Amino acid sequence: MAIWTLTIKSTKIMNGVRLERGMRVQVSSLYHPIGYNNGEATRDAFMRVYGIDLKKAGALHPAYFDIEKRN
């Protein structure tokens, strides 16, 4: 199982939710953490660490993240 590191690329305010450049979470998954299961693992990680709902912000898209896979 791989560990994925997701980092917000740039500061944005989307639907009243502020995303700061450099916000980072780690997700453990066999598959891409945004493309698999509608990004639930990524959404849960950001909610747990920062209290931010990425689905509400409309930011569950790979364009908003730097994504690294670590084994």
Domain range annotation of the chain: 2-70
- Beta-bridged to residue 18, according to DSSP, are 13
Amino acid identity, position 38: N
pLDDT confidence band for 59 (50 / 70 / 90): very high
pLDDT confidence band for 71 (50 / 70 / 90): confident
Task: Count the neighbouring beta carbons within 10 Å of the beta carbon of residue 26.
Answer: 13
Q: Which two tokens stand for residue 68?
A: 């690294």
The model's pLDDT over 17-57, given as tens digits with 9 standing for 90+, comes to 999 999 999 999 999 999 999 999 999 999 999 999 999 99
Q: Which two tokens stand for residue 45?
A: 């990680």
Rounded to whole angstroms, the Cα distance separating 53 from 46 reads 7
